[in-house]
Structure 1
Amino acid sequence: MLTADEIVRFDDAPAPPGRTAWVQGGPEAEAIAIVPAEPRWSADFELLAGIVREALGPLALDVEHVGSTSVPGLPAKPVIDLDLTVASSADEPAWLPQLEAAGFVLTVREPWWYEHRCLRFAEPRANLHVFAPDCPEAARHKIFRDWLREHPEDVALYRDAKLGAADEANAAGEHVMQYNARKQQVIREIYHRAFTASGLLE
């Protein structure tokens, strides 16, 4: 069972010396495109979640739509983010072959950060994040999503931060990880409000 302290404490530790999270090289250089919200994103999630569940059966303990495409009306990169919970994300032989056979490609492996794995899917474009049960990061994703769904003022704040970060990152020739860093302060501000309102922070 997760504690409040585990949920509100962010783990920003970098990769250990000599290690990289990227399985097949770093992220491809491409312009960061933030597009208006698409009603079809929820249907895209259902399609992708169905593929995951069909591939894994009962091994898929939970599949959640997270990230900006999970918030109605929020502009986003047109890439669906899903959080998949399996019994052990570190036990790749138990779940990875089935997902690869279904068309997912492992791109990120981070044993030092919640044993996180990330797989990409080509169409509809998606990032599938794999975590074990009671993972603080996965819990935070749902808290952030649910807060934004109920607080339009923070949707507007986050929208402006995303658009500004994309413009600045594109002008500097940066990749998506640097874009993410540019909007982190606003994300943490929104998290603080959500944590406080839910009683996780006093």
Structure 2
Amino acid sequence: MPTDEEITRHHDSDPDEDPWVLGPPKPTVVELTPYDPEWPARFAALADGIRAALGGTALEVEHVGSTSVPGLAAKDIIDIDLTVPDSADEPSYVPALEAIGYVLTIREPSWHQHRGLTLPAPRVNLHVFGPDCPETIRHRMFRDWLRTHPDDRDRYEQAKHDAIPGGGHVMDYNRRKQDVLRDIYDRMFRAAGMK
């Protein structure tokens, strides 16, 4: 199990690591849509497909990100955390996911051996980590915090809207909302007695 320090540490990308398997994404316009009550059902169907494809290799399949928080505007993309026995062992799960339409797009050994896959329709960002990963714990904590703290949910939504102007890659959008995101994380960690 990760320590509190490992869970509360914010990750900054390794500047020497090129994570893009197929090259960096093209600049895109980020579009937020109001919360869609169909998102949980979409996640459930996607999770069933992942579990069917991977069998026992899928240790956990969790709905995370903004589409997992009722009332929160989001990009119409389902974020899923998939826990496998060893995320660095790509042959144990990537071919099975590719067979159902997922594409490996990110490989980040420096960040808990993270692998990222996408599905074009319905749009999915699938984040793959190993067991007891600090990042999956952070994702679940943040989701649950926003579900029960509407002021922070609304503050985060405003930060998302404020981050859209400026264009660029989705990573640029993420950087523009990072300060608010990290502030909410830090308040959440303090409330949990972890800082």
TM-score, scaled relative to structure 2:
0.97
2:157 alignment counterpart: 159
The answer as to whether partners of 1:83 and 1:130 remain within 8 angstroms in 2 is yes
CA distance in 1, matches of 2:159, 2:71: 15
Matched, 1:2 2:2: yes
Aligned to 2:177: 183
User: Percent identity, aligned pairs only?
Assistant: 54
Q: What one-letter code is carried by the residue in structure 1 that aligns with 2:76?
A: P
User: Is residue 84 of structure 1 aligned with residue 82 of structure 2?
Assistant: yes
Q: Write the mapping of 1:7-18 to structure 2, written as runs, cut at 5 A.
A: 7-16=7-16
Give structure 1 regions of 4+ aligned residues with deviation exceeding 6 angstroms: none
The residue correspondences of 1:138-149 to structure 2 (distance < 5 A) are 138-149=136-147
RMSD: 0.9
Post-superposition offset of 1:15 = 3.7
**AA matched with 1:193:** R
How far 1:13 sits from its partner (Å)? 3.8
Whole-Å Cα distance in 2 between the matches of residues 110 and 192 of structure 1? 24
Q: What one-letter code is carried by the residue in structure 2 that aligns with 1:123?
A: A
- Residues 1:192 and 2:186 aligned together: yes
1:169 counterpart SS class: coil
The question of whether the paired residues in 2 share the 8 Å contact of 1:169 and 1:175 is answered with no
Which amino acid in structure 2 is aligned with residue 83 of structure 1? D
> Which among 97, 111, 121 is matched to residue 99 of structure 1?
97
- Code of the aligned partner of 1:178: D
> Are the counterparts in 2 of residues 15 and 21 from structure 1 also a CA contact under 8 Å?
no
- Once the two structures are superposed, the pairs formed by residues 112-127 of structure 1 within 5 Å of their partners are 112-127=110-125
Aligned to 1:169: 166
| Counterpart Cα distance in 2 of 1:122 and 1:57 | 23
Q: Conserved in 2, the CA contact under 8 Å of 1:15 and 1:112?
A: no
Structure 1, residues 126-157: CA drift from partner, whole Å, max 9, x if none? 00000001111111111100000000000110
**Structure-2 separation of matches of 1:52 and 1:177:** 26
Tell me by how many angstroms 1:112 deviates: 1.2
| Gap regions ≥5 residues in structure 2 | none
- Once the two structures are superposed, residues 85-104 of structure 1 have per-residue CA deviations (whole angstroms, 9 ceiling, x without a partner) of 00000000111111111111
Shift of 1:11: 2.4
Structure 1 residues not aligned, in runs of 5+ = none
Distance in 1 of aligned mates of 2:156 and 2:166: 16
Q: Which amino acid aligns with 1:175?
A: H
Which residue of the partner structure matches residue 40 of structure 1? 38
Alignment of 1:42-61 (within 5 A): 42-61=40-59
2:34 & 2:89 partners in 1: Cα distance? 38
- How many angstroms does 1:118 deviate by? 0.4
What amino acid sits opposite 2:183 in the alignment?
E
